[in-house]
Chains A and B, each alone.
Chain A
Amino acid sequence: MTRKKRSFRYIGLIYVLPWILGLLIFQLYPFIASFYYSLTDYNMVNAPKFIGLDNYKQIFTNDPGFTQALKVTSIYVVLAVPVKLAFALFVAIVLSAKLKAINLFRTVYYLPSILGGSVAISVLWRFLFMKDGVVNSMLANVGIPSIDWLGNPDIALYTLGLLSVWQFGSSMVLFLAGIQQIPSDLYEAGSIDGASKTRMFFKITVPLLTPIVLFNLVMQMVNAFQEFTGAFVITSGGPMKSTYLYALKLYEEAFTFFKMGYASALSWVLFAIIMVVTGIIFKTSNRWVYYEDGGKTK
């Protein structure tokens, strides 16, 4: 047994090897290059000129756009991520029931996420939420005065958040997969012991789903910090920079202003922020995530 354990030490590395190779071949160079750019004045056109930490200094002391983008992005992350996850979990639980035509319902609920990348979605979202749009005309039917969903600087960010919640499909699918993976014998044992359904939900379903909750939380957070498409195609950061997300700022610096060095520095600042937040989530996860494998490996 002990000899076997020792040979195990390197077996793991062999399995991980493809990824290590991938990292070395495809990912390491772009990473290092982008970090180097962040220390330079680089307009994509001329060779990068080394300027030390000037870009970073500029970001933290002299860039109102950075502050605005960070503020908007933080609000977006804090609001959109929890709402989206809660909604996804709720729908997943309902959809895991053994109802007739459940396949159809699942597909329907996943539709918004499939449509997410379509050109049509920006057209559609404007058409739904513009001043004389569908949503407002429905509200008017029940006597609610019309709201300028995308044109009012105080509201537009929340409307974009709504778009992201509406595309809750991938989180939902993972919750569904997680629920399906819970061994049915646990429930059988539970019902033999006379546990109620609610009790089993909190004592079996929820704890066994926590690894997936952690995953969804981390990934949705990482994605929300880098959210780009919705704001880019629908509001392009407006009105009055109220939806000026960090990724939009980055894009503008890189491809409109041609300041690739500065954009790289902005990337690395965002990288650091996401790292810290992820680190915190991982640290606290020891307390609330339950692993069936006994938590033997990290």
Chain B
Amino acid sequence: MQRLKGLNGFIALMLVFVIIISGCSSGNKDKENPGSSPDEKVTLRFSWWGGDGRHEATLAAIEAYKKVAPNVTIEAEYQGFDGYEQKVKTQLASATSADIIQLDVPWMKELTKNDFFLDLRNQEGLSLEGFDQDFLNNFSVYNDKMVALPSGVNAYALVINKTAADKLGVPTDIQWDWDTLYEEGKKLHEKDNSKYLLLADHGMLMQDFTNMLKQRTGTQWINEDYTRGFTKEEAAAALEWIDKAMKAGVYQPLGESDLFFGKTEQNPKWINQDIPIISAMSSTLLSLRSVLPEGVEVVTALPAIDKNAKNSAVLVRPSQLIAVSSKSKHPEESVKFLNWLMNDAEAAVTLGDVRSIPASAPAQKAAVEAGKIDEAITKAVEMGLKNAGIVDNAIATNSEVSALLQDVIEKVAFGKLMPDKAAQELVSSLDKKLKELQGR
């Protein structure tokens, strides 16, 4: 029975331990009292996702804001991208979100069905002058309310490993179109079958497909009135190109590249410089470059544009959006902080390009002058803005519509479905889904 005594003692000890521990983890929950006279202490919560660089710069900016508004304390709630979407949506659904919230563009259509966010128009202390008004109308206004501001500008571009391209004999000074991509890609892969011209996961292939459609039709690929903006034949032609390009080894096979979906920089073919070109949002350039050896030159170019394009289809969008919760107890203070974060020169210099290039002109100017913004990114965004194409409407970027397109693109890329059959399938499943969405 000696052993049992030991066990009893152990349990008793653990119980005491539990009481002590849980005592200290529970008791101290201090909630700030609401009250908004100017000198009173105010605590705001600010939530965002990001990597090390963004965390550090944003925390530094928050620190600097203490001097601007000594009565305001900003509690930072930051994390990586994993789980952020789920968390923010759960928080919004149960009115527990932070006062100031970083959001992603694709979530907005659904999130704005409810009054989660403050209408930022005509808010005292918030200047919208520095922003491009069209850009705001396209991405910040939903149901006639300005629900969020773009934290930065992001453009779809070709990210080119110039060092590798030069070595492989791939030109870097041309404006690419679909024919030149195919020809150069085919040539490269025939010469050495471990090399590919382009790296694309299913997301980028879908982008290439819709770009091709938009360039050839000159309209949205899905119209505002829930109809298709293209014919079956046009879809078949675009899918044909993808089929042809896949078979010729222009792209790395989808089975290999999709393993690194959303984390292209981890693809060994890119790291080992077997693939010189990726089409990607300009903000991913930093991570794409971070895995290459020092001295490798990375440049950007406009994405492929059809020779007879009626529209460039070049996508320019906010890198993220920042909104103020409508449930915030301190809306004025939150808006003031948002204004400072977006427009102030000091904030811009502190933040640099951690949320891509600032969207507000004075902030952008300050950051560029301070040399805080990467040259290649600046070039990509400038080119994108100059050549910006049709802006996708919310239906075209609807996640259920994307899922359908993904299905079809994958079947073509894996060679499991002929382009004309695939076009047929896309058209019929899209028509059905669009009708369903319209009815909702």
- By a beta-carbon cutoff of 8 Å, the part of chain A in contact with chain B is 43-46, 123, 126, 130-132, 148, 150-153, 234-236, 238-241, 252, 255-258
Question: Are B202 and A255 touching (Cβ within 8 A)?
Answer: no
Asked if B438 is at the interface (CB within 8 A of a chain A CB), the reply is no
- Which residues of chain B are within 8 angstroms of A239 by Cβ–Cβ distance? 254-255, 258, 410, 414
Question: Are B414 and A130 touching (Cβ within 8 A)?
Answer: no
Given A44-B89, A132-B268, A240-B410, A152 and B110 touching (CB < 8 A)?
A: no
Given A43-B113, A240-B410, A151 and B89 touching (CB < 8 A)?
A: no
Question: Are A43 and B110 touching (Cβ within 8 A)?
Answer: yes
Question: Are B410 and A45 touching (Cβ within 8 A)?
Answer: no
5 A/B residue pairs, CB under 8 Å, sorted by A: A45-B116, A152-B255, A235-B259, A239-B410, A257-B403
| Closest CB pairs A-B (n = 9) | A151-B255, A44-B93, A45-B114, A258-B110, A240-B410, A45-B113, A239-B255, A256-B399, A151-B256
Question: Are B256 and A238 touching (Cβ within 8 A)?
Answer: no
Question: Are A148 and B114 touching (Cβ within 8 A)?
Answer: no
- Which residues of chain B are within 8 angstroms of A151 by Cβ–Cβ distance? 253-256, 258-259
* Cα-based distance from A54 to B116 in the complex (angstroms): 28
**Which of B110, B259, B411 interacts with A130 by CB under 8 Å?**
B259
The residue of chain B having its C-beta at the shortest distance from the C-beta of A123 within the complex is B266
* Cα-based distance from A239 to B255 in the complex (angstroms): 6
B254 to chain A: closest CB distance in Å?
Answer: 7
Asked if B383 is at the interface (CB within 8 A of a chain A CB), the reply is no
* Cα-based distance from A105 to B150 in the complex (angstroms): 55
Report B63-84 CB contacts with A as 1/0, cut-off 8 Å: 0000000000000000000000
* Cα-based distance from A153 to B413 in the complex (angstroms): 12
- Which residues of chain B are within 8 angstroms of A241 by Cβ–Cβ distance? 407, 410
B296 to chain A: closest CB distance in Å?
Answer: 21
Interface of B is mostly: helix
- Which residues of chain A are within 8 angstroms of B86 by Cβ–Cβ distance? 255
Given A46-B113, A148-B256, A152-B255, A240 and B416 touching (CB < 8 A)?
A: yes
Asked if B56 is at the interface (CB within 8 A of a chain A CB), the reply is no
Apart from A45-B92, A45-B114, A152-B255, 13 more pairs, CB < 8 Å: A43-B113, A44-B89, A44-B90, A44-B93, A45-B116, A126-B266, A131-B255, A151-B255, A151-B258, A234-B259, A252-B403, A255-B89, A256-B399
Given A236-B261, A255-B89, A257-B400, A45 and B256 touching (CB < 8 A)?
A: no
* Cα-based distance from A151 to B92 in the complex (angstroms): 37
Question: Are A240 and B414 touching (Cβ within 8 A)?
Answer: yes
The residue of chain A having its C-beta at the shortest distance from the C-beta of B85 within the complex is A255
The residue of chain B having its C-beta at the shortest distance from the C-beta of A65 within the complex is B403
- Which residues of chain B are within 8 angstroms of A46 by Cβ–Cβ distance? 113-114
* Cα-based distance from A130 to B269 in the complex (angstroms): 11
- Which residues of chain B are within 8 angstroms of A131 by Cβ–Cβ distance? 255-256
Report B225-267 CB contacts with A as 1/0, cut-off 8 Å: 0000000000000000000000000000111101111000010
* Cα-based distance from A258 to B90 in the complex (angstroms): 11
* Cα-based distance from A45 to B97 in the complex (angstroms): 13
Given A45-B116, A255-B86, A258-B110, A238 and B93 touching (CB < 8 A)?
A: no
* Cα-based distance from A256 to B399 in the complex (angstroms): 7
* Cα-based distance from A126 to B268 in the complex (angstroms): 11
The residue of chain B having its C-beta at the shortest distance from the C-beta of A252 within the complex is B403
* Cα-based distance from A257 to B85 in the complex (angstroms): 12
The residue of chain A having its C-beta at the shortest distance from the C-beta of B262 within the complex is A236
* Cα-based distance from A46 to B111 in the complex (angstroms): 10
The residue of chain B having its C-beta at the shortest distance from the C-beta of A155 within the complex is B255
A140 to chain B: closest CB distance in Å?
Answer: 14
* Cα-based distance from A239 to B202 in the complex (angstroms): 10
* Cα-based distance from A131 to B268 in the complex (angstroms): 10
